């Protein structure tokens, strides 16, 4: 027996922001009171602020998948033609949801680790002018790849279709200019860059998306965007809100505002850059080298080694919880998260721990070599004050 | 602005054990109820268990200094001859307390960074057979040095004097066999190896110490060992107890019991060993090389550098709170803590951060070199399963 702290370091739930957790202790509040309306209204306003949009923003007591469901069931009709960009498990989820609601789905598939190109979307839209919607992940966390959302928004913006972006792990890890680029629906979840536990889903709705909702005929009840918008305007949620999580969200949003969304994104990007540098030093191969996102760095286990060994030993040796690959990628890759409440201190320790585990499994690594790569990136980035670089 | 987590890494308050903090939420309990008596009784029993003694153990709502005060005011009379081993700021505190109560104090002084020898204690006791007590720190956290408590107990045990040990940072960082060695009073505090916030002091009282209390005439009121013992036997504290801290202590003690006190000590000792190895690699000089304790590693700032720069940059760059030297050691040394809830993951990051700070201040260090020394100690120690050592 030795001391082994529990460390939640997955791409969701992400590490928790302590003041947000402490705020949950004030949950002895009723949701149909002015006190709570003030808290809810402030959270909605701050959420709009950090998402940088003038579009309506709504919150649901649900996981992110709930908001994905809502975007389909509220904005489309049976048989509507839609395009899904699928580059991993979450792209496949878009396909499942669209099919569950009887949409006519064209799937643009990329190999795991690759991204769907803007050109493929342009071609699909040109081939089917009646397309009503394009669905995509900003960041496909299952593989570590990211999509060119700006390019896709430009392609979709000139058509009658709307662009629905699952930004659950994209928000806070890449620039997402909702209004400037024209993202019609942007979906987020509480347990990602917002640094609080799972249970809240958000989405922004553009005028173009609202217009589509007027003719949409798919059935829905709990996830009712129009009803939720009316409730939100009164400072309430339609159904009982997850009050403890709203309190946590309010506190976390204050922190994200104080950081600035651009800095939150830069933080994840810099950590991802440092992790990739460490991989180069340690001879580890990236799974998504061509379009790497910054929510996670997906790394191939060294030849002959099951990635589950790395995941397991990080837990048994260091109490650190990271994620294996999903589906067919299980055993092949492991994923180091960067989104939300992560800093260089975390990464120093992660890479040092990873080095010891690789070494213990017969992989030739020189202790401290990957850590040094992270230290050099830290020094280059010169935060908060410059360091001359070795 | 970048993400910079707050990390409390000082030798007290030490990092907090999360389940203990969560237990404090159940503080809506009254202290004169059977529910609380059950909790208090269990905490006292578990405390005796982890301290490994059959002596009485008492808890006060006070800082550790309160228990130091209690040991003097309850067990001695004005003019009593006592010996104080003083090797730093906490040794000086024993002198202050003894003088405040009018004892006749012989001070055995060691230079900062050194320890008082058993031979010096033997000589003092031989020179003054009427000595009633010997006071010492097990671990002198201000300098990083530790005393030979087993040797001192043997020296004192053959006389009429009692041995009063400030084990505030010694408990959990070095073996302290209360009954086997004959430690008459052993003092601890909640905010050290017990991993909870400050506010509770403990002490164990031997039969020899109780006997002394029968003739002691110094005045006291709040700190009344006999009264407290009677209360404790009824499952209560004499005055209002710090209920939230007792709840936290109960939870922390369960954890320490599950670890085993010997493993808690081994954990701190191994981290201290690894930190010393890192210092060697980085060319850093230890402040207490001859009798280093494992509660902290005290390190001299590189020549020409103020240790406060290291303390400040750990805070501003990484949110990590460590301690400077105290008194005349301020600016000369910095102290890396190991006692309580610390693990190798913490130390990997600490050494990597320290390397970047040294480098940024013009000290020639090779990135990752100190970290590699920590990794090698981790590998040698083979926790929880062996790793062949590079």
Averaged pLDDT of chain B: 96
A79 falls in which pLDDT band (50, 70, 90)?
very high
CA angle, residues B123, B128, B134, in degrees to nearest 5: 75
Q: What are the residues whose beta carbons fall under 8 Å from the beta carbon of A119, sequence distance 6 or more? A: none
Looking at the complex, report in whole angstroms how far the Cα of residue B60 sits from the nearest Cα belonging to chain A: 27
Phi and psi at residue B247, to the nearest 5°: -65, -45
Cβ pair B1:A367 closer than 8 A: no
Give residue B238's pLDDT: 96
The 8-class DSSP code of residue B385 comes to: S
CATH code 3.40.640.10 region(s) in chain A: 18-259
Separation between Cα atoms, residue B354 and residue B246, nearest integer Å: 36
Spatial contact of A7 and A319, defined as CB atoms under 8 Å apart = yes
Contacts of A18 in chain B (CB under 8 A): 6
**Domain limits, CATH 3.90.1150.10, in chain B:** 7-13+260-381
Number of CB atoms found within 10 A of residue A128's CB: 16
> Which DSSP category does B284 fall into?
P
Contacts of A341 in chain B (CB under 8 A): 3, 5
B354: how many CB neighbours lie within 10 A of its CB?
Answer: 27
Cα–Cα distance for residue pair B212/B75, rounded to 1 Å: 6
Q: Which pLDDT belongs to residue B2?
A: 82
Q: Is B218 on the interface with A (CB under 8 A)?
A: no
Return the pLDDT at A380. Answer: 85
Given an 8 Å threshold on Cβ–Cβ distance, is A4 in contact with B369?
no
Beta bridge partners of A201: A60, A189
Chain B environment of A385 (Cβ under 8 Å):
316-317, 360
Q: What is the pLDDT of residue B385?
A: 58
Check CB contact under 8 Å for B318 and A263.
no
Nearest Cα residue to A132 out of A77, A187, A80, A74: A80
Residues 23-52 of A with CB under 8 A from B: 25
Give the closest-approach CA distance of B356 to chain A in angstroms: 7
All residues of chain A having their beta carbon less than 8 Å from the beta carbon of residue B349 are 345-346, 348-349, 352
Q: B94 to chain A nearest CA, in Å?
A: 32
Grade residue A386 by pLDDT with cuts at 50, 70 and 90.
low
Q: Are the Cβ atoms of A349 and B352 closer than 8 angstroms?
A: yes
* B367: closest chain A residue by CA: A372
pLDDT in tens, A32-42: 999 999 999 99
Q: Which CATH architecture has domain B18-259?
A: 3-Layer(aba) Sandwich (3.40)
Whether A151 and chain B come into contact, CB under 8 Å, resolves to no
Place of tokens 């030993």: A313
Size of interface A-B (CB pairs under 8 A): 154
Could you tell me if A48 and A233 are in contact, meaning their C-beta atoms sit under 8 angstroms apart? Answer: no
Which residues on chain B are in Cβ contact (under 8 Å) with A369?
A: 368
Q: In this structure, what token pair is assigned to residue A154?
A: 């430009």
Q: Residue A102 — very low, low, confident or very high, per pLDDT cuts 50/70/90?
A: very high
The Cα B28–Cα A39 span in angstroms is 26
Cα distances from B315 to residues A222, A254, B9, in angstroms, run: 47, 22, 10
Answer yes or no: are the C-beta atoms of B32 and B256 closer than 8 Å. Answer: no
Cα→Cα distances B286→A180, A183, B115, B117, B353, Å: 57, 58, 14, 20, 18
Chain B residues in contact with A370 (beta carbon < 8 A)? 368
Q: Which two tokens stand for residue A83?
A: 């395009």
Q: Do B156 and B162 contact (CB within 8 A), yes or no?
A: yes
Domain with CATH 3.90.1150.10 in chain A: 7-13+261-381
Structure token pair of residue A12: 């969701």
Q: How far apart are CA B323 and CA B298, in angstroms?
A: 10
Q: Grade residue A387 by pLDDT with cuts at 50, 70 and 90.
A: low
Whose CA is closest to B132, among B245, B209, B203? B209
Contacts of B319 in chain A (CB under 8 A): 343, 345
In B, which residues are within 8 Å of A360 by CB distance?
379, 385, 387-388
Placement of tokens 């992560």 in the chain: A342
CATH topology of domain A7-13+261-381: 3.90.1150
Per-residue model confidence (pLDDT) at position A376: 95
Cβ-contact A11, A342 below 8 angstroms = no
* Residue B371 near residue A368 (C-beta atoms within 8 A): yes
B352 and A342 in contact by Cβ < 8 A?
no
Q: Residue A26's closest chain B neighbor by CA?
A: B25
Confidence of residue A381 (pLDDT cuts 50, 70, 90): confident
- Whole-Å CA distances, A217 to A78, A134, A137, B130: 7, 18, 25, 97
pLDDT at A384: 59
Q: Please tell me if residue A255 touches chain B, with a CB cutoff of 8 Å.
A: no
CB contact under 8 A, A390 and B359: yes
Residue B293 DSSP class: -
| B360: nearest CA partner in chain A | A387
Contact A110, A139 (CB under 8 A): no
Ranges of chain B whose pLDDT falls below 50: 389
Indicate the pairing of strand B81-86 with strand B133-137. Answer: parallel
* SS3 per-residue string spanning chain A: CCCCCCEECCCCCCCCCHHHHHHHHHCCCCCCCHHHHHHHHHHHHHHHHHHCCCCEEEEEECCHHHHHHHHHHHHCCCCCEEEEEECCHHHHHHHHHHHHCCCEEEEEECCCCCCCCHHHHHHHHHHCCCCCEEEEECEECCCCEECCHHHHHHHHHCCCCEEEEECCCCECCECCCHHHHHCCEEEEECCCCCCCCCCEEEEEECHHHHHHHHHCCCCCCCCCHHHHHHHHHCCCCCCCCCHHHHHHHHHHHHHHHHHCHHHHHHHHHHHHHHHHHHHHHHCCCECCCCCECCCEEEEECCCCCCHHHHHHHHHHHHCEECEECCHHHCCCEEEEECCCCCCHHHHHHHHHHHHHHHHHCCCCCCCCHHHHHHHHHHHHHCCCCCCCCC
> Cβ–Cβ of A346/B349 closer than 8 Å?
yes
Q: How many angstroms away from the CA of A282 is the closest CA of chain B?
A: 13
What's the rounded Cα separation, in Å, for the pair A315 and A313?
5
Give residue-wise pLDDT tens across range A144-190: 999 999 999 999 999 999 999 999 999 999 999 999 999 999 999 99
Check CB contact under 8 Å for B367 and A366.
Answer: no
Q: Provide the pLDDT for residue A82.
A: 98
Q: What is the pLDDT of residues A319-358, one digit of tens each?
A: 999 999 998 999 999 999 999 999 999 999 999 999 999 9
Compare all CA atoms of chain A with the CA of B339 and give the residue at the minimum distance: A3
Cα of B319 to nearest chain A Cα, Å: 9
Chain A partners within 8 Å of B387 (Cβ): 356, 359-360
| Cβ atoms of residues A165 and A183 within 8 Å | yes
ipTM of the complex: 0.92
CB-closest option in B2, B349, B379 to A356: B379
**C-alpha count within 13 angstroms, C-beta hemisphere, residue A257:** 14
Cα A26 to Cα A35: distance, rounded to the nearest angstrom: 12
> Considering the domain B7-13+260-381, what is its CATH architecture?
Alpha-Beta Complex (3.90)
B345/A259 CB distance under 8 A: no
Cα B350 from Cα B362, distance rounded (Å): 19
Q: Does any CB of chain A come closer than 8 Å to the CB of residue B8?
A: no
A384 touches chain B (CB under 8 A): yes
Which two tokens mark B226? Answer: 């006999």
Alpha carbon distance B286, A158 (integer Å): 68
Of B132, B157, B127, B159, the C-alpha closest to B71 is B132
């Amino acid at each position: 027996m030795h001391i082994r702290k529990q460390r939640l370091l997955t791409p969701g739930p992400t590490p928790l922001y302590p003041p947000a957790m402490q705020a949950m202790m004030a949950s002895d509040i009723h949701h149909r009171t002015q006190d709570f309306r003030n808290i809810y209204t402030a959270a909605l306003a701050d959420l709009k602020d950090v998402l940088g949009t003038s579009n309506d923003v709504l919150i649901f007591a649900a996981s992110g998948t709930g908001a994905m469901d809502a975007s389909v069931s509220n904005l489309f009709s049976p048989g509507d033609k839609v395009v899904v960009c699928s580059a991993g498990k979450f792209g496949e989820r878009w396909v499942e949801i669209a099919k569950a609601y009887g949409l006519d789905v064209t799937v643009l598939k990329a190999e795991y680790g690759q991204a769907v190109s803007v050109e493929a979307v342009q071609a699909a839209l040109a081939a089917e002018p009646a397309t009503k919607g394009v669905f995509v992940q900003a960041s496909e966390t299952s593989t570590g790849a990211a999509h060119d959302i700006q390019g896709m928004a430009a392609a979709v913006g000139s058509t009658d279709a709307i662009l629905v972006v699952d930004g659950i792990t994209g928000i806070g890890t890449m620039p997402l200019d909702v209004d400037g680029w024209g993202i019609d629906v942007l979906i987020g979840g509480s347990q990602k860059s917002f640094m609080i536990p799972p249970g809240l889903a958000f989405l922004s709705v553009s005028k173009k998306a609202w217009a589509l909702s007027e003719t949409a005929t798919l059935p829905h009840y709990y996830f009712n965007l129009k009803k939720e918008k009316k409730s939100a305007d009164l400072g309430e949620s339609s159904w009982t809100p997850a009050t403890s999580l709203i309190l946590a969200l309010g506190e976390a949003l204050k922190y994200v505002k104080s950081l600035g969304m651009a800095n939150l994104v830069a933080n994840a990007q810099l950590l991802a850059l440092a992790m990739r540098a460490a991989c180069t030093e340690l001879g580890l191969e990236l799974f998504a080298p061509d379009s790497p996102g910054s929510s996670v760095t997906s790394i191939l286990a060294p030849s002959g080694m099951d990635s589950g060994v790395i995941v397991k030993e990080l837990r048994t040796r260091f109490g650190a919880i990271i994620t294996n690959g999903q589906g067919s990628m299980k055993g092949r890759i492991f994923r180091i998260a960067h989104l939300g409440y992560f800093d260089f201190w975390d990464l120093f320790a992660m890479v040092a721990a990873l080095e010891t585990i690789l070494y213990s499994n017969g992989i030739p690594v020189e202790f401290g070599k990957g850590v040094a790569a992270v230290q050099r990136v830290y020094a280059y980035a010169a935060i908060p004050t410059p360091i001359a670089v070795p």
